[in-house]
């Protein structure tokens, strides 16, 4: 009988013997490979965290104890051990199990995550609430070494140093940068420093010295000597100097060592860092050799590790990658930044061709924005390539450091709109709203790959902040013949007729073409305008549309509130226009996971739904 069959709910792992644990770990990895190869998902991070998760489940009591995963893309084993094996058949699919922790899925998921560097802050909140309510459960936050580059993590660590109650922070380090410290000495130091006798001994020695002549001076000398020895012997002095207890490092694939150190960590009266070293992709050679490629992957062949579907046409990221290098070749003031996403945002080639003009700041979007502002104020033109949902974390820096000073920083915003299987934490459906509200900001969205290239060139010549946002996936290659020069705040009329006019934003132009065709088949005339600029909007084209049309329609893959449609509506009200307005976008909600096609139907942004609603609205006028 497979050991996984014995895991039906939380805490069932404790029914197995220590001798069965290696086999269970192997079964979990096989299970993950079998299912993720069919559905896609985050693989390398989950393969590396199998034993770590098992050790936590052997140490903690669920759902009483609280386990917060940073980002959460390494929580698959946690889901397996809490009775959600069946959910992997529909992982990240519409109506199926999320690829991230979700409170709505299980009581064992105490906090929803999807973005980086949040787990320590959230865990500290749980620990404080526990103490205020007089409860006694354990709180553990798991954070990766990469996530520690986020400023929020250090803010939380600084706050956690004042905690006088147990709170465990597990640092999952898969870089193996200090692997030589794993061994007897590290385990000995860790065990000695958390032993009750040692803690009491320190306190007794200090109290005794205070009562002796010159005792304070001796105590300070001992403290200084002790600190010097720690600097030599203990690799976690950064945390120790912050006032946190540091344990480790310990091998993240040695189950018994981790169980031991976690049990010892629970004895510490304060915040404690447990440093765990893991191998990303552990147990699957292709993922071990290419962890970045197997970070987030679609369905693939387990034998070869190759994707089942090969990319036939370039995506928008590919287009950006090519064009930014061409721009840099013509303009030596252009530099490029990323927040730990050089591959994902298409800057790998730029890094290769212009290494001195490329900057990876780590998972620190807020810093990236202000860093770019500093360079822009010094005469350079930075391009910050970033996923839409991650740019949200630099909101204040965009306002305060870029827009207020009207600095020439270009935001190349990838993964805008609905992105699919990663779900609510990763959809880029807020950017048009919050960027449009910022003074001095120019916001653009291209209809196809050629227009993306033109907009990037246009942005490189601007003297103020500019955002170019484009979706995930294959770049549209339609409407090639419609390539009017980019002019600030000017839309592009593609078809001019009467009755109905559609102003479509970015990738919605392709859908609007389909809608227009369906309207034609049913006897309705329809003009089509490629909005191009979300800010400033093209008021001249809106006035022209009002003269010849009775229904103005806007389409955007963004929240309706504060989006392009809102801006058009405000202008129509300002000029007291007689035309009616119908806006398509995303209602006031967070959108779940599924394919982009499914989610567009779910949100009413599919061609069939919009066509019918346009007809119903027009006929009712």
Q: What is the DSSP string of 590-609?
A: ----S-HHHHHHHTT-SHHH
Q: How many residues does the chain have?
A: 621
Predicted local distance difference test score (pLDDT) of residue 209: 55
Stretch 488-494: mean pLDDT, rounded? 98
Higher pLDDT pick, 33 / 238: 33
Q: Which residue has the tokens 């999952």?
A: 172
Q: Which residue has the tokens 């958390």?
A: 194
Per the CB < 8 A criterion, the answer to whether 280 and 252 are in contact is no
Model confidence at 183, pLDDT cuts 50, 70, 90, reads very low
Catalytic residue among 365, 451, 492, 556: 365
- Torsion angles phi and psi, residue 392, rounded to 5: -55, -30
Model confidence at 187, pLDDT cuts 50, 70, 90, reads very low
Q: What letter would DSSP give residue 575?
A: T
Query: Is residue 280 annotated as part of the catalytic site, yes or no?
Result: yes
Per the CB < 8 A criterion, the answer to whether 595 and 567 are in contact is no
Per the CB < 8 A criterion, the answer to whether 324 and 64 are in contact is no
**pLDDT tens per residue, range 575-612:** 999 999 999 999 999 999 999 999 999 999 999 999 99
Q: Which residues contact 61 (CB under 8 A, 6 or more apart)?
A: 11, 137, 138
Per the CB < 8 A criterion, the answer to whether 555 and 504 are in contact is yes
**pLDDT tens per residue, range 320-377:** 999 999 999 999 999 999 999 999 999 999 999 999 999 999 999 999 999 999 999 9
Predicted local distance difference test score (pLDDT) of residue 45: 95
The structure's pTM equals 0.90
**pLDDT tens per residue, range 226-274:** 544 445 445 677 888 889 999 999 999 999 999 999 999 999 999 999 9
**pLDDT tens per residue, range 130-159:** 999 999 999 999 999 989 989 999 999 999
Cα–Cα distance, 217 to 69 (Å, whole number): 45
**pLDDT tens per residue, range 368-405:** 999 999 999 999 999 999 999 999 999 999 999 999 99
Query: Is residue 393 annotated as part of the catalytic site, yes or no?
Result: yes
Stretch 185-191: mean pLDDT, rounded? 37
In the chain, % of residues over pLDDT 90: 86
- The DSSP bridge pattern shows strands 334-338 and 358-360 to be parallel
**pLDDT tens per residue, range 45-65:** 999 999 999 999 999 999 999
- The DSSP bridge pattern shows strands 410-416 and 381-387 to be parallel
Three-state DSSP class for residue 214: coil
Predicted local distance difference test score (pLDDT) of residue 324: 98
Per the CB < 8 A criterion, the answer to whether 457 and 487 are in contact is no
Model confidence at 198, pLDDT cuts 50, 70, 90, reads very low
Predicted local distance difference test score (pLDDT) of residue 310: 81
CA 15 vs CA 30, 257, 303, 509, 514: distances in Å: 21, 19, 33, 57, 58
Q: Which residues contact 224 (CB under 8 A, 6 or more apart)?
A: none
Listing DSSP states for 94-116 in one string gives TTS--SS--TTT-TT--S---SS
Per the CB < 8 A criterion, the answer to whether 506 and 471 are in contact is yes
Of the candidates 153, 141, 145, the residue with the CA atom closest to the CA atom of residue 117: 153
Of the candidates 112, 116, 142, 121, the residue with the CA atom closest to the CA atom of residue 593: 112
Angle between helices 255-265 and 21-39 (to 10 degrees): 100
Predicted local distance difference test score (pLDDT) of residue 426: 97
- H-only helix segments in 290-334: 316-330
Mean pLDDT of the chain: 91
Could you tell me the two tokens for 283?
Answer: 């147990």
Model confidence at 311, pLDDT cuts 50, 70, 90, reads confident
Predicted local distance difference test score (pLDDT) of residue 280: 94
Cα–Cα distance, 340 to 363 (Å, whole number): 5
Catalytic residue among 92, 102, 187, 280: 280
Three-state DSSP class for residue 166: coil
Q: Which residue has the tokens 């309706």?
A: 560
Predicted local distance difference test score (pLDDT) of residue 181: 31
Model confidence at 206, pLDDT cuts 50, 70, 90, reads low
Angle between helices 21-39 and 50-59 (to 10 degrees): 120
Catalytic residue among 102, 130, 193, 393: 393
Residue 202 has pLDDT above 60, yes or no: no
Residue 459 has pLDDT above 60, yes or no: yes
Stretch 276-283: mean pLDDT, rounded? 95
Model confidence at 224, pLDDT cuts 50, 70, 90, reads low
Stretch 94-104: mean pLDDT, rounded? 96
CA 339 vs CA 74, 146, 185: distances in Å: 20, 11, 36
Predicted local distance difference test score (pLDDT) of residue 234: 52
Q: Kindly tell me the sign of the dihedral angle through the C-alpha atoms of 53, 58, 59, 62.
A: positive
- Torsion angles phi and psi, residue 559, rounded to 5: -60, 140
């Amino acid at each position: 009988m497979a050991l996984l069959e014995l895991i039906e709910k939380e805490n069932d792992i404790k029914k197995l013997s220590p001798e069965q644990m290696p086999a269970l770990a192997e079964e979990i990895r096989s299970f993950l490979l079998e299912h993720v190869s069919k559905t896609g998902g985050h693989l390398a991070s989950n393969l590396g965290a199998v034993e770590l998760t098992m050790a936590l489940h052997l140490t903690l009591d669920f759902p009483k104890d609280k386990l917060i995963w940073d980002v959460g893309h390494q929580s698959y084993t946690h889901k397996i051990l809490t009775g959600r094996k069946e959910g992997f058949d529909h992982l990240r699919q519409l109506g199926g199990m999320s690829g991230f922790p979700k409170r709505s899925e299980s009581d064992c998921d105490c906090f929803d995550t999807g973005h980086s560097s949040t787990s320590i802050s959230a865990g500290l909140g749980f620990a404080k609430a526990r103490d205020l309510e007089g409860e006694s459960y354990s709180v553990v936050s798991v954070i990766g070494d990469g996530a520690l580059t986020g400023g929020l993590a250090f803010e939380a660590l600084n706050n956690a140093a004042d905690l006088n109650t147990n709170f465990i922070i597990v640092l999952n380090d898969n870089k193996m940068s200090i692997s030589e410290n794993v061994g007897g000495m590290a385990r000995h130091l860790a065990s000695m420093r958390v032993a009750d006798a040692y803690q009491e001994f320190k306190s007794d020695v200090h109290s005794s010295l205070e009562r002796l002549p010159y005792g304070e001076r001796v105590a300070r000398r001992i403290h200084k000597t002790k600190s010097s020895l720690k600097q030599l012997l203990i690799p976690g002095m950064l945390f120790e100097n912050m006032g946190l207890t540091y344990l480790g490092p310990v091998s993240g694939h040695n189950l018994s060592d981790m169980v031991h150190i976690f049990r010892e960590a629970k004895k510490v009266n304060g915040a404690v860092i447990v440093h765990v070293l893991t191998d990303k992709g552990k147990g699957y050679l292709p993922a071990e050799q290419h962890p970045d490629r197997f970070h987030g992957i679609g369905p693939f062949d387990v034998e070869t590790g190759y994707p089942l579907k090969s990319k036939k046409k370039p995506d928008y990221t590919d287009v950006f990658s090519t064009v930014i290098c061409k721009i840099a070749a013509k303009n030596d003031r252009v530099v490029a930044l990323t927040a730990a996403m050089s591959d994902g945002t298409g800057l790998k080639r730029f890094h290769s061709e212009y290494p001195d003009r490329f900057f990876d700041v780590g998972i620190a979007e807020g810093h990236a924005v202000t860093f770019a502002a500093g360079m822009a104020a010094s005469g350079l033109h930075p391009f910050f390539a970033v996923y839409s949902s991650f740019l949200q974390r630099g909101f204040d820096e965009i306002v305060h450091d870029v827009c207020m000073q009207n600095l020439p920083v270009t935001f190349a915003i990838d993964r805008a709109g609905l992105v699919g299987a990663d779900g609510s934490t990763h959809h880029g459906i807020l950017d048009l709203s919050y960027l449009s509200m910022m003074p001095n900001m120019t916001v653009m969205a291209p209809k196809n790959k050629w227009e993306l290239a033109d907009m990037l060139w246009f942005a490189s010549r601007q003297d103020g902040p500019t955002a170019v946002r484009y979706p995930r996936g294959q770049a549209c290659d339609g409407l090639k013949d419609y390539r009017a020069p980019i002019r600030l705040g000017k839309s592009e009329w593609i078809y001019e007729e009467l009755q109905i006019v559609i102003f479509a934003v970015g990738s919605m132009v392709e859908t609007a073409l389909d809608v227009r065709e369906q309207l034609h088949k049913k006897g309705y005339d329809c003009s089509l305008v490629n909005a191009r600029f979300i800010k400033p909007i093209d008021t001249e084209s809106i006035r022209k549309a009002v003269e010849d049309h009775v229904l103005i329609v806007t389409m955007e893959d963004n929240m309706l509130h504060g989006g392009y449609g809102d801006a058009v509506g405000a202008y129509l009200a300002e000029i007291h226009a007689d035309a009616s307005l119908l806006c398509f976008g995303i209602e006031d909600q967070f959108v779940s996971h599924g394919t982009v096609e499914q989610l567009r139907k779910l949100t009413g942004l599919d061609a069939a739904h919009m066509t019918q609603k346009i007809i119903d609205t027009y006929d009712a006028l």
